[in-house]
Each structure stands twice: as structure tokens, then as C-alpha cells.
Homo-oligomer: A and B are copies of this chain.
Amino acid sequence: MTPGASHLLGPLFGSPAAGAIFSDHGRLQGMLDFEAALAAAEARVGVIPAAAAAPISAKCRAELFDPTALAEVTARAGNPAIPLVKRLTALVAVDAPEAARFVHWGASSQDAMDTGLVLQLRQALVPIDSDLARLADAVAALAAAHKMTLLPGRTWLQHALPVTFGLKAAGWLDAIERHRARLASLQPRLSALQFGGAAGTLAGLGDRGLAVAAALAEELELTLPDVPWHTQRDRLAELATTCGMIVGTLGKMARDLSLLMQTDVAEAFEPAGDGRGGSSTMPHKRNPVTSAVVLAAATRAPGLVATMLASMVQEHERGLGGWHAEWTVLPELVILTAGAISQMADTMATLEVDADRMQANLDVTQGLMMAEALTLALGIKLGRLAAHERVEAACRRAVSEGRHLRQVLAEDPVVTAQLDTLDFDRLFDPQNYVGAATALVERVLAARRK
């Protein structure tokens, strides 16, 4: 009955941990944490009686609230903070009628909702950070382990030159580390209190507004911003765009992985185990489930990010529609991102790499991939142009006759006058034509250790 709700598909696409944080329960608890801290801060500053804080705080537990019961008033009132505050007031009033008067004192619905959301997001970033670290470690281990594992480099999906699997992993890793830096740098901007009262002036608190705000930020261990940000949504948009970029990188990894895992390529595999990726009709298949899930996230994230950016255009002192769009979009994006990171971390930690098949695939084009190496070597002896023409002709012949380039070249006396069998062995060994691959992997790994 709710947009996107699915117990059935949740564990497939999202992270259960993040899902719990952004459940109705989590949303209510976020707002209630705000209300409890507000009462504490106001009591501390002396805006409300000292005795009012504890009874309010005592009822700020989401399990005392029924989302379904609050939903009807939410639909009429236009936001869930209104019924929540009403219900909280009633709960407090049972034991402490005096304290009940001071629930939500001087705050607006948006204060509760925005700050509650910030608290949820801060919580969600914990597993995201640790899963990203776990993913980085797993990919770093692959980069190190496969520093020398050769496979065909593919450009435009065509075999180009040999690369190493370590280099491929180092490229992934380098991007992941940049994302970790971005997340670290956005967190102070994101973890900021939103507190402005009805129109952002804190007018309801007279001359004590800033004092309450400072105490409240302290209670919640959030940054105190210079000014309320009720209709300046870049703090949230920045998290969204960073999620979008992370998922973009994961999507690139998943695309690579699924291409390597093709039956026709078979160079790397998602771990099987326990029915993972089984087909309902073809028992011999092993489906790339993680890749599919991550590619689905990469298909979805751009639209969700675009929505967060579009929703930034909020009117005056409270947005009409833009604000409301955020309520479901940002959680959904964070859940998808968390799910994609965690599943990719699992998969990379147990990836199966078939180095033999990689090696074998290097020769699928019968030596053509080494043409550039041959051209360069011959160029030193014959001049670059002559070498180029010679090798190019040989390539054409090799293709048209379906033979190996080495064979064709070995029939050319001009070539054999310059290169002997040992030279051929060396020049046709892809290992000798991966340039700076190893050094590049080491640079990336070294940068991590700094």
C-alpha cells in the first residue's frame, strides 16, 4: 500500500541495515530524537522548566507510535511531524500534563523532519563507510594478487593490448578511494542541525533562539550552521550526488565483471555457493546476481539524483513539492547505494579469477594484439614507416587466411633477417608488453598506505 514497499525485494536490492534505518520506525525515531534533545536543550537554557525535559524524553521512543495510525493525519496535514507531535504530547500528558505543554516548543515540523533525517543519514553513513572500506580492501587485495595476471585489454569491446587484472582492479580502487575522500569531506556539511522555527527566524523563542540552537546542536552532536537551511537543500543534494557517483563506479565494476563472466569470455566469476545465481530452467548456468543488482542500482541512481537536484528549487521559507519529494527519494537512494556497496564488497572479497583463461584469451586474435609491439621492435631496425607497413600487411594476411600473425611474419625474410626465434618468443609474449602496468598498480596501492 506504500510506494516502493517490498519485503520480497528489499534484501535483493537494498542493504537491510540501511533499510532498517529508513523504515517508518527509523523515521519516527529520528524525529523523536530531535524532540527529546530539543526539550533537554530548552530545559538547559531555561526556556522551558527543567522538570519538563525528562518526561518528554521518556516518551520519545518510536515503539510507542504506530505509523499506520499516524498516516491518516499525515495525509491530511501534509507532513508526519504534525501527528507525531500531537501523539507525543498526548503520551507525555498522561504522566506529566505540565511537561506536555512544552513538547516541540518553538520548533516547526520541518525542524523535526529535517534534523531527524540528518540523524538517520549520519547513522546510515556508518555501514556505508565501513562497507566502502571493506570493498576497498577486497579490491586492493585483488590488485596486489593479480599484479602480473595478464588478460586482454578491451577498448570499444574489442581486444586492444594486454593489460593486467591488477591494473583493472587498481582503476576501480583509485575511484573508490576518491569517493571515500568525498564522503569524508561532505560529512561536516551534512551533519548540521536544522532549527529555525516557523519561518527560519526562531521568533517563537524570543531572544533565546540562538542559545537553544547551540545547546540543541550540542545535545545531538551536530554542527550548528550559521543560518537555518530549510530551503537551501545543497547539504542533502551533496549526499545524493555522492551516492550517485559511488553507484556509477560500482556500475562500471559490475559491467566489467558481467562482461568477464560471459560464457564466451569466462575470465572471472561471482562466487556461486548456495543457490546463488541459479537459473530456474538451466541448471548449468551461473547468473551474475550481484552485477545485475548493482547495474539495476546504477540504472536507478541517476534518476533519483536528478530528482534531488530538481527538488532544490524550493519556494521562499518552505518548499512546496520539492521538500516533499526528498522524503522518499533520498532514503531510497541511500538504501540502494548501501545495498550495492555491501553486495559488491561481498563479491569482490570472494571473486573467482581464472588466470589461465585470461592468458588463453590473449591469443584469441592469433597474435594480432601484439602487432604494436612487433611494429615498435621492427621500427628500430627498419624505420617506423617500413615496419608499420610490413606488420600491417602481415596482419591483413593473418586475418584473411585465419593464421597466426607469428606464422605469417615468420615467412617474411625481411622480418626474419632482423628477428630470430628468441626475439619472436619475447615479442609475442604479452607479458613483455604491458608497459607501466605493474608500476601503476603499485602507485595506487602505495597511495592507500599514506
Contact = CB atoms under 8 A, between A and B. Distances in A.
Contacts of A118: none
Contacts of A249: 232, 234, 312
A197 to B, nearest CB: 7
A58 interface: no
A435 B14 contact: no
Interface residues of A, number: 192
Contacts of A156: 78, 258, 277, 279, 285, 287-288, 292, 318, 320
Interface in A296-319: 296, 298-307, 309-318
B174 A232 contact: yes
Contacts of A322: 295-296, 299
Contacts of A279: 155-156, 158, 160, 198
Contacts of A13: 3, 324, 328
B2 A5 contact: yes
B82 A282 contact: no
Given A154-B263, A392-B283, A24 B1 contact: no
Contact of A280 (B2, B75, B82, B256): B82
A279 to B, nearest CB: 7
Nearest to A447: B226
A228 B440 CA distance: 8
A324 B295 contact: yes
Contacts of A447: 226
Contacts of A274: 76
A187 to B, nearest CB: 13
A314 B2 CA distance: 28
A202 interface: yes
A277 B78 contact: yes
A392 B361 CA distance: 28
Interface in A391-415: 391-392, 395, 399
A161 B23 contact: no
A133 interface: no
A295 B277 contact: no
Contacts of A145: none
A295 B310 contact: no
A72 interface: yes
B109 A280 contact: yes
A254 B321 contact: yes
Interface stretch (A38-46, A121-129, A204-212, A420-428): A204-212
Given A158-B285, A328-B13, A5 B6 contact: yes
A219 B117 CA distance: 47
Nearest to A328: B4
Interface stretch (A49-57, A134-142, A347-355, A368-376): A368-376
A258 B320 contact: yes
Given A19-B3, A154-B316, A248-B234, A74 B198 contact: no
A71 B13 CA distance: 11
B321 A295 contact: yes
Interface in A90-136: 101, 104, 108-109
